[in-house]
């Protein structure tokens, strides 16, 4: 029998590679997100993450002259 109790360090938020933030969107965007989520069986959060990743990968910044 072991004489010690092992207590692991507390799991801190954000250590899973994700961070939460809030954003305000027009109601029609929220409605569209909820519709897509319902059609696909994915959460709104998953849909938003997919769309943000797509936007970042297909975005090009340009300097305003």
Tens-of-pLDDT digits for all 65 residues of the chain? 568 877 777 766 667 778 889 999 999 999 999 999 999 999 999 999 999 999 999 998 888 88
- The per-residue pLDDT for 63 is 87
Residue 64, domain member (yes or no): no
What length does the chain have?
65
Helix 27-40 and helix 44-57, axial crossing angle in degrees, nearest 10 = 110
- The per-residue pLDDT for 61 is 87
Residue 48, domain member (yes or no): yes
Residue 21, domain member (yes or no): no
pTM of the model: 0.70
In the chain, the number of structural domains is: 1
- The per-residue pLDDT for 16 is 75
Domain that holds residue 40: 27-57
- The per-residue pLDDT for 64 is 87
Tell me the C-alpha distance between 39 and 64, whole Å: 40
The answer to whether 48 and 33 have CB atoms below 8 angstroms apart is yes
Judge residue 18's burial from the number of C-beta atoms within 10 Å of its C-beta, 0-12 exposed, 13-18 middle, 19 or more buried.
Answer: exposed
Residue 3, domain member (yes or no): no
Residue 20, domain member (yes or no): no
DSSP 12: P
């Amino acid at each position: 029998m072991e004489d010690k109790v092992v207590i692991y360090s507390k799991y801190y938020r954000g250590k899973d590679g994700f961070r939460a933030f809030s954003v305000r969107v027009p109601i029609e965007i929220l409605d569209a997100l909820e519709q897509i989520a319902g059609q696909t069986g994915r959460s709104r959060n998953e849909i938003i993450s997919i769309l943000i990743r797509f936007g970042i990968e297909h975005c090009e910044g340009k300097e305003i002259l």
